[in-house]
């Protein structure tokens, strides 16, 4: 079975108001699973960021990468506001993807 492509920008966290990571991917389901399983070495593994708290679909990877770069330049409070507008309790959104 072939994996469904889902282009998105996403934010991972370790807890409410905790450490944040912003990424972009062409396969959201797989990428979040990789973060949760600790298969991606680096920042998300080091800080145990396993909770998907926000994501935004995009038509193509160019748009997703542009949005990712833009969000990474935002002040932290703007990122928190973005998350809390759609996910005020910082629930893990991953189960809804699978």
**52 phi/psi in degrees, rounded to 5:** -80, 115
Q: What is the pTM of this model?
A: 0.94
pLDDT at 91: 98
Structural domain boundaries in the chain: 8-97
Name every residue whose Cβ is closer than 8 Å to that of residue 85 and which is 6 or more positions away in sequence. none
Q: Could you say which residues of the chain have pLDDT below 70?
A: 1-2, 98
Name every residue whose Cβ is closer than 8 Å to that of residue 6 and which is 6 or more positions away in sequence. 26, 27, 28, 29, 57, 97
Instruction: Report, at the CATH architecture level, how domain 8-97 is classified.
Output: 3-Layer(aba) Sandwich (3.40)
Give the C-alpha separation, 25 to 12, whole Å.
13
């Amino acid at each position: 079975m072939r994996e469904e492509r889902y282009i998105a920008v996403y934010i991972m966290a370790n807890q409410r108001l905790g450490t944040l990571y912003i990424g972009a991917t062409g396969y959201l389901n797989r990428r979040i699973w990789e973060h949760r399983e600790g298969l991606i070495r680096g920042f998300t593994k080091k800080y145990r960021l396993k909770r998907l708290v926000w994501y935004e679909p995009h038509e193509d990877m160019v748009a997703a990468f542009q949005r990712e770069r833009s969000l990474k330049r935002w002040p932290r409070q703007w990122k928190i506001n973005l998350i809390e507008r759609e996910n005020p309790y910082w629930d893990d959104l991953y189960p809804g993807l699978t």
